Homo-oligomer: A and B are copies of this chain.
């Protein structure tokens, strides 16, 4: 079973407006809301692919209830750790000019032993692959406390990423900006090597429309999509993580994992909301992704599976 953990759950609300103009009054023509937070989105994608997945998440207040109700309706298996404070909301404003503007509330502080209860819930599930995604709310411990022993993916940024490396995650998945921020290095290959030295098994860097760069114990690859897609990129990183988790759970070779990840990322861009994927695109694109071994790859050990 793949287990995703979401300590900083959100109710993702999507507003549709004619156009967003700073200083104006806008009539929202459409309101949709669904369970969110990066780990929840990863679980939603894996559920859509038929994978055996369970989401572990915090939930508090009326917003937390709305999150849990949505997961129940969709059929995503979830372990809910109740918290005293109200779950946050994120609001995505879609305007008819195609712009996407996000307003993210701060996460509610975890009180008392809520973090310990959360960590215990994660440990009790004995995941085959553990996915730690997203930011940590105030009062949380670190991802390193959850990682260790199990094949795992860490997808977070800043201090949460740096501290999480002590847990020796199998894969970390920063985007280019996040990678530069934590290493101070502009060259993604050199920066990825730094993260590997600090504890990451493999580093998969999302390069937006240019695809993925993977620096792994068995080599380095660049995987590029067949075409540049227009759409909502909010959930694309979570789709990459879902593909990585599926690949780890099946012990696939890196080129195969990367094909799946690029295809699923594109399928998420075409999905209307974060966590939705266009399955037709996913299946079609897997045969079209170009994966090239990078010349600077230096094998540091022998296996060609992660």
* Residues of A bordering B, CB below 8 Å: 15, 17, 20-29, 31, 62-63, 65-66, 91, 93, 95, 99-106
Contact = CB atoms under 8 A, between A and B. Distances in A.
Contacts of A95: 22
Contacts of A65: 62
Contacts of A15: 103, 105
Contact of A26 (B26, B62, B101): B101
A24 B29 CA distance: 21
Nearest to A106: B28
Number of copies: 2
Contact of A24 (B31, B63, B101, B106): B101
Contacts of A24: 101-102
B103 A28 contact: yes
Nearest to A30: B106
A67 to B, nearest CB: 12
Given A23-B99, A28-B106, 6 more contacts: A15-B103, A17-B103, A24-B101, A25-B102, A27-B104, A31-B105
A105 B23 contact: no
Given A104-B27, A105-B31, A106-B28, A20 B17 contact: no
A103 to B, nearest CB: 5
